[in-house]
Amino acid sequence: MTVFNHRFNPTVLREYDIRGIVGDTLKPEDAFAIGRCFGSVIVRNGGSKVAVGYDGRLSSPDMEPQLVAGLRACGLEVLRVGLVATPMLYYAAYALEADGAAMVTGSHNPPDYNGFKMMIGKKPFFGAQIQEIGRMAAEGDVVPVSTEGSDRQVDIAEDYVARVLRDYDGGDRKLRVVWDPGNGSGCDVTKLLAAKLPGEHFVINGTVDGTFPNHHPDPTVPKNLEQLIEEVATQKADLGIAFDGDADRIGVVDDQGHILFGDQLMVVLSRDVLKSKPGGTIIADVKASQVLFDEIAKAGGEPLMWKTGHSLIKAKMAETGSPLAGEMSGHIFFADKWYGFDDAPYSALRLLGIVARMDGPLSAVRAALPQVINTPELRFDCSEDRKFAVVREVKERLAAEGATVQDVDGVRVLTDDGWWLLRASNTQAVLVARCEASSEAGLERLKAQLSKQLQASGLAAPDFSGENAGH
């Protein structure tokens, strides 16, 4: 019997997924090892069938066969759904009754990155489970197999699109919509949806290209939405929709070319969901505006602030029975009529239904929201061995001062001016900060409080030079 053991570069085993630089920290042999170890977990869990997909990155066609080979070496049947958006793979796990799923994707990272997102049963595979993959590989702790498994191609696209369209509730109103899948793996499904929805639809950057020639596929960065904003104006569209590289995150632009940030989009979606789910728990991450939590309560919902991270949010949704959750990063999770995973095409369809039923334009809803002033997300370097310690030190000083602190994920400090946040990233050697106030003077006071706490822990104040985002 062949002896198996493998060591991963320690930087690739992250909190929510596995991710690295192709040819440097991540290689095809890593893909085989992931398949061999993840497959062993599936088998030991009583499973026999795994769905596999891959994104449009140049390295993905090399990684996917190695992943499949590793899974087959565990005796598993592998359902290969091909080049798809990540939510299509999640859907395949349900529709094909798979015991697990693995997606080869670098998400919104630069073109030279790639990685893997996994689920076991219908749940995310993350945290300690990912670290366990590293231990299993190093120790050769995998299932012995006498008979190799099998694989077959399965086309999930038409089935997925039909299921998504089933929940469109906008009637026959013909919206004008611009779509930008960003040359990512959501291109083909975007075109399929656009062809079947009522109205006029314009798709830009709709060809899969792993070099991302037009802009980086991260819709949370305003610069990456400039082309979409321009096209919305040219087409006099009702709204514009953008996806990230694997279409599990969404960006939205209204009819006036203004960006709806993740928390503003969640206000629109929450109000609609709560009409049929009164009293429902709506979850958002700690980086979201206080406006969102207030608006959820006003709409009759139960707002719940939770930790940042798509896997953590999904787990909390399942625990609380939440019908809807969202993050500032554009991960939107519908359990109302859908399956509770982050799905940008599905979220787009639900938004289109809402806009089609509105009396006025989407821009009017955005403009009517309470106006606050906030910094963008501030990220600054802090070593792995210091980042959590700094947050702990800040929390202890704030407690001694009698400050009002929410500590579900780092520290979110509430004052008469608004709030400021400091948390440690789970995936990088950085601290993340954000401030929000109702006035410019208040924002300056919050920045000063944050800077003072960081300096007390021996760190320089973050660079606040980026434009404040008013929303």
pLDDT at 427 over 80: no
Of 125, 155, 185, the one marking the end of a domain is: 155
What is the model's pLDDT at position 248?
96
Between 2-11, 189-198, 217-226, 368-377, the lowest mean confidence (pLDDT) is in: 2-11
* Catalytically annotated residues: 107
Q: How confident is the model at residue 2 (pLDDT cuts 50, 70, 90)?
A: low
pLDDT at 467 over 80: no
The partner residues of 470 in beta bridges, in order of sequence, read: 373
What is the model's pLDDT at position 280?
98
Same domain, 344 and 405: no
Measured distance CA(228)–CA(222) in Å, rounded: 10
Q: How confident is the model at residue 86 (pLDDT cuts 50, 70, 90)?
A: very high
116-139 average pLDDT score: 95
What is the model's pLDDT at position 15?
84
6 part of a folded domain: no
For residue 10 the two structure tokens come to 């320690």
What is the model's pLDDT at position 109?
87
Same domain, 447 and 382: yes
- CATH at residue 121: 3.40.120.10
Terminal Cα-to-Cα distance of the chain (whole angstroms): 61
Domain that holds residue 442: 373-470
Q: How confident is the model at residue 429 (pLDDT cuts 50, 70, 90)?
A: confident
Q: How confident is the model at residue 24 (pLDDT cuts 50, 70, 90)?
A: very high
Of 118, 140, 155, the one marking the end of a domain is: 155
For residue 314 the two structure tokens come to 């999904």
Same domain, 176 and 315: yes
Measured distance CA(213)–CA(215) in Å, rounded: 6
Measured distance CA(352)–CA(173) in Å, rounded: 10
What is the model's pLDDT at position 56?
97
Averaged pLDDT of the chain: 95
| Amino acid present at 375 | T
What is the model's pLDDT at position 344?
98
What is the model's pLDDT at position 3?
73
11 part of a folded domain: no
267 part of a folded domain: yes
What is the model's pLDDT at position 1?
47
247 part of a folded domain: yes
Please state the three-class secondary structure of the chain as a single string. Answer: CCCCCCCCCCCCECCCCEEEEECCCECHHHHHHHHHHHHHHHHHCCCCEEEEEECCCCCHHHHHHHHHHHHHCCCCEEEEEEECCHHHHHHHHHHCCCCEEEEECCCCCCCCEEEEEEEECCEECCCHHHHHHHHHHHHCCCCCCCCCCEEEECCCHHHHHHHHHCCCCCCCCCCEEEEECCCCCCHHHHHHHHHHCCCEEEECCCCCCCCCCCCCCCCCCHHHHHHHHHHHHHHCCCEEEEECCCCCCEEEEECCCCEECHHHHHHHHHHHHHHHCCCCEEEEECCCCHHHHHHHHHCCCEEEEECCCHHHHHHHHHHHCCCEEECCCCCEEECCCCCCCECHHHHHHHHHHHHHHCCCCHHHHHHHCCCCEECCCEEEECCHHHHHHHHHHHHHHHHHHCCEEECCCCEEEECCCEEEEEEECCCCCEEEEEEEECCHHHHHHHHHHHHHHHHHCCCCCCCCCCCCEEC
What values do phi and psi take at 326, rounded to 5? -160, 160
pLDDT at 255 over 50: yes
Q: What's the domain count of the chain?
A: 3
Same domain, 308 and 218: yes
144-158 average pLDDT score: 94
Same domain, 78 and 112: yes
3 part of a folded domain: no
pLDDT at 18 over 70: yes
Q: How confident is the model at residue 4 (pLDDT cuts 50, 70, 90)?
A: confident
Measured distance CA(69)–CA(186) in Å, rounded: 25
- CATH at residue 464: 3.30.310.50
What is the model's pLDDT at position 211?
95
Same domain, 456 and 383: yes
What is the model's pLDDT at position 376?
85
pLDDT at 441 over 60: yes
What values do phi and psi take at 2, rounded to 5? -70, 130
What values do phi and psi take at 335, rounded to 5? -105, -10
8 part of a folded domain: no
Same domain, 219 and 353: yes
Q: How confident is the model at residue 218 (pLDDT cuts 50, 70, 90)?
A: very high
221 part of a folded domain: yes
pLDDT digits (tens, 9 = 90+) for 287-324: 999 999 999 999 999 999 999 988 899 999 999 999 99
What is the model's pLDDT at position 208?
97
Same domain, 87 and 209: no
Same domain, 328 and 430: no
Same domain, 69 and 179: no
What is the model's pLDDT at position 462?
83
364 part of a folded domain: yes
Same domain, 164 and 150: no
pLDDT digits (tens, 9 = 90+) for 442-457: 999 999 999 999 999 9
> Burial letters for 370-396: b for 16+ Cβ neighbours within 10 Å, e otherwise?
eebbbbeebeeebeeebbeebbebbbe
Q: How confident is the model at residue 468 (pLDDT cuts 50, 70, 90)?
A: very low
pLDDT digits (tens, 9 = 90+) for 265-279: 999 999 999 999 999
Same domain, 347 and 322: yes
Of 368, 393, 428, the one marking the end of a domain is: 368
What is the model's pLDDT at position 466?
54
